[in-house]
Amino acid sequence: MIAQYFPNGLERYLIGGLLIGAGVALLFLCTGRQGGVSTFFSAAWSWLLRTPFFQQAAFRDTRQWRLIYTLGLMLGGTLYFLLGLPLESSHLPTWKLVVGGLLIGFGARLGGGCTSGHGICGMASLSGGSLLMVCTFLGTAIVTAMSLAALGVAP
């Protein structure tokens, strides 16, 4: 049963999740901030566009720490790579990256968060709204991925 649903074991996922959680916890412990990732993509536009939405204080006042946090996320991946830890290659067709990316960017901002904001911070805050958001995007993603797989549009 475990081997059927977890062909790659449990340990890697549990430890990885704890490391991810430790990052979010460290940010909250040190600075009191909630470490959602997707807001950065709106906040960064405040440097480029002088439009009312992007010039909100919520973006202007947080863009600096969000940029540093974003750089940290990339650095974490680089560190993993430099330590020579196991890494399988990955390749997706370009159209999936473009169409998927646009939907993710627009959807996450319209929905007020992504897997880190709603999924980790929101659920850890016991927010009913975030729980419903997680069910919505997780449910939609499962149906979408299953349908594409059934149609033979495999990765």
Partner 1 sequence: MIRNARFFDHLATLASGTLFGFGLAWSTMIRPESVLAFLTFQDLGLLLVLGSAVGLNLLIFQALPKIRQRALLGGVFQQRPFSLDKQSLAGGVLFGLGWGICGICPGPALAGLGAGNGDLLIALASIFAGAGMHGLWVDRQNRKAANVI
* Contact positions with partner 1 (CB under 8 A) in 70-99: 70-81, 85, 87-92, 94, 96-99
Q: Any contact of residue 63 with partner 1 (CB under 8 A)?
A: no
For position 31 contacting partner 1 by CB under 8 A, the verdict is yes
- Please report, as residue ranges, which positions from 93 to 132 form the binding site for partner 1 (by CB under 8 A): 94, 96-130, 132
Work out which of 1, 7, 50, 57 binds partner 1, going by CB under 8 A: 7
Q: How far apart are CA 116 and CA 137, in angstroms?
A: 12
Q: Within 10 A of 67 (CB to CB), how many other CB atoms are there? A: 14
Contacts of 120 (CB under 8 A, 6+ apart): 20, 21, 24, 35
State how far the Cα of 132 lies from the Cα of 139, in Å rounded to an integer.
Answer: 10
Q: Does 151 bind partner 1 (CB under 8 A)?
A: no
Q: For residue 13, give every residue at least 6 positions away whose Cβ sits within 8 Å of its Cβ, in sequence order, or none.
A: 6
- Tell whether residue 47 is a contact of partner 1 (CB under 8 A): no
Binds partner 1 (CB under 8 A): choice among 22, 47, 60, 61: 22
Least CB distance from residue 67 to partner 1, whole Å? 9
